[in-house]
């Protein structure tokens, strides 16, 4: 349950959006390599783009024969995270077209993270299908690997705490019951970001992990189930807790000292070179949420209102300019 916030109560961290070049290649990667399920596709012919939604779930998605508005209503009632892939029609036919992964300059977005039972086994399985492996390492006693999707976006694979496996998802190439766990991007000022994500969005700071050898800290924010310990004795204990959670988190990476450097500005992915788009929240009242956020000094990128035939949405910018989509909930869930 989310705490009282400018966006209201009971917000859901619903999606992370990335732009893709070729939906068939992306579909093969996320379905056949990572074991996700394609929930539905939303098409917008007048705007020449489509949205593909993937998730780990046993739910039976609505049939594509149902109206787009009905399928969108179903999406906006979900309580688990989805991966939203945006395809602008025609990009797959351009051999020189490329999206920006956020880890080359200009930097901003980092990666989306998945928890798996055995990182090394998952990496070896992916290598057999020629999935590029960026690196493997140990981080705070957890095995971590990075691979690339067809557009070059980084995918982090992190070893899960064994007891957190729900055994609800069938065996996949990367193991049993993988979990879409977190989305990482870089921030300049952790104090400003904390005010936005806690007071604005109602997320809770779950943990901070410091990496002195790299001069960075990772701040984990999310909507929790109330099971967070009041304190941790060590970073290892913090990591153990994070590896055992099943709610999705936003990971904000702060490189020490950037808050006092006026020359530092991170790239939000929505101006050239484009790539990462936004994270998305489902909320009860986007109009009241936007009014409250605007009064608090946050910039509305898109004012609340209907979008095509898929419901009502808005966009707000966080302190670093990253976009957060607000989507009107289509049913009462709590």
Return binding residues for Zn(2+).
15, 84
| Two structure tokens written together for 133 | 């492996």
Handedness of CA 310, 29, 251, 192 (dihedral sign): negative
Strand partners, 180: 114
Nearest 5°: CA angle at 248, between 154 and 41?
70
First to last CA, the chain: 9
CB within 8 A of 329, min separation 6: which ones?
A: 12, 76, 77, 282, 283, 284
DSSP string, 48-106: TEEEEEEE-----PPPTTS-HHHHHHHHTT--S-EEEEEEETTGGG-TT-----SSSSS
Residues in the annotated binding site: 15, 84
Q: For residues 22 and 30, what is the distance between their CA atoms, to the nearest angstrom? A: 12
3-state helix, strand, coil in the chain (%, to 5): 20, 35, 45
Strand partners, 324: 279, 316
Contact assessment for residue 243 and residue 160, using Cβ atoms and an 8 Å cutoff: yes
CB atoms within 10 A of CB 64: 9
Nearest 5°: CA angle at 314, between 292 and 319?
60
CB within 8 A of 184, min separation 6: which ones?
A: 109, 110, 111, 112, 113, 156, 218, 250, 251, 252, 253
Candidates 248, 136, 161, 178; CA nearest to 32 is 178
Which pairing describes strands 249-255 and 133-139: parallel, antiparallel, or unpaired?
Answer: unpaired
Strand partners, 216: 211, 255
């Amino acid at each position: 349950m989310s705490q009282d916030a400018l966006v209201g109560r009971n917000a859901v961290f619903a999606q992370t959006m990335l732009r893709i070049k070729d939906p068939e290649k992306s579909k093969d990667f996320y379905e056949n390599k990572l074991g996700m399920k394609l929930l539905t596709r939303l098409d917008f012919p007048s705007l020449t783009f489509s949205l593909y939604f993937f998730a780990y779930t046993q739910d039976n998605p609505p049939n594509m024969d149902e109206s787009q508005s009905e399928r969108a209503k179903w999406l906006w009632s979900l309580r688990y995270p989805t991966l939203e892939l945006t395809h602008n029609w025609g990009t797959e036919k351009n051999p020189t077209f490329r999206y920006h992964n956020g880890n080359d300059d200009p930097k901003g977005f980092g990666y989306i993270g998945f928890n798996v039972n055995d990182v090394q086994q998952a990496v070896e399985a992916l290598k057999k299908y020629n999935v590029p492996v960026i690196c493997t390492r140990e981080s705070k006693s957890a095995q971590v690997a990075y691979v690339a999707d067809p557009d070059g976006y980084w995918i982090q694979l992190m070893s899960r705490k064994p007891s957190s496996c729900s055994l609800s998802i069938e065996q996949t190439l990367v193991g049993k019951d993988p979990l879409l766990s977190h989305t990482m991007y870089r921030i300049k000022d952790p104090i400003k970001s904390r005010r936005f994500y806690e007071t604005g969005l109602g997320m809770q700071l779950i943990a901070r992990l410091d990496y002195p050898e790299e001069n960075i800290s990772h701040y984990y924010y999310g909507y929790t189930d109330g099971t967070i310990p009041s304190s941790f004795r060590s970073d290892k204990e913090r990591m153990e807790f994070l590896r055992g959670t099943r709610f999705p988190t936003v990971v904000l990476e702060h490189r020490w000292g950037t808050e006092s450097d006026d020359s530092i500005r991170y790239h939000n992915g929505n101006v050239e070179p484009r790539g990462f788009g936004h994270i998305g929240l489902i909320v009860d009242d986007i109009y009241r949420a936007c009014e409250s956020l605007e009064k608090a000094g946050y910039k509305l990128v898109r004012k609340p209102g209907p979008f095509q035939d898929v419901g009502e949405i808005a966009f707000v910018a966080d302190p670093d300019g990253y976009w957060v989509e607000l989507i009107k909930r289509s049913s009462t869930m709590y």
